[in-house]
Structure 1
Amino acid sequence: MMKWGLVAAGLADLNRPVEKISIPQSIALACTGLIWVRYSFVIIPKNYNLALVNFFVGGTGMYQLSRVVKARMEASRSLNAAPE
């Protein structure tokens, strides 16, 4: 149940400016979420609740990373397109 707090925090960060998103934290959330999803299906008995919460933890981490990458690509394009 406590991991749902990580999901809620990730969803709350959707309104946070991209400049304030922590890349290492987002990478850690994405990686641990995906690793634990896999582990949830390997253990016996399979733990679907654990898999679900970790899927969302990994998803929020990956979404935040995609926001950062998109913002940096747009910034790079705008710098390259600026006339000298």
Structure 2
Amino acid sequence: MSRLPVKSDAERDTALANLSCPHLDAKGCSVYLERPLICRLFGTTPRLACPHGRRPDEMIDPKIEQEIQRFFLEVRHVLV
């Protein structure tokens, strides 16, 4: 997260209001190579479901999903 460009409070607030990400631009993810783990996992588990209904052929195993959720809670990792 520390390697990502700093966004203003207004940019973050706008992204949250739109259920979006402040690092998305007209061409998509502007920080793709440096994106956080939560972004890399987005859409791969039922708890991180894609709002557009997209998903991989196979979702992550439920036991692994529990570990992912536990990790996110421990490190307070959230989208946006």
TM-score, normalised with respect to structure 2: 0.29
Greater Rg by CA: 1
Structure with the bigger percentage of strand: 2
Under a length normalisation based on structure 1, what TM-score does the superposition of the two structures give?
0.28
Higher relative contact order (CA 8 A, sep 6+): 1
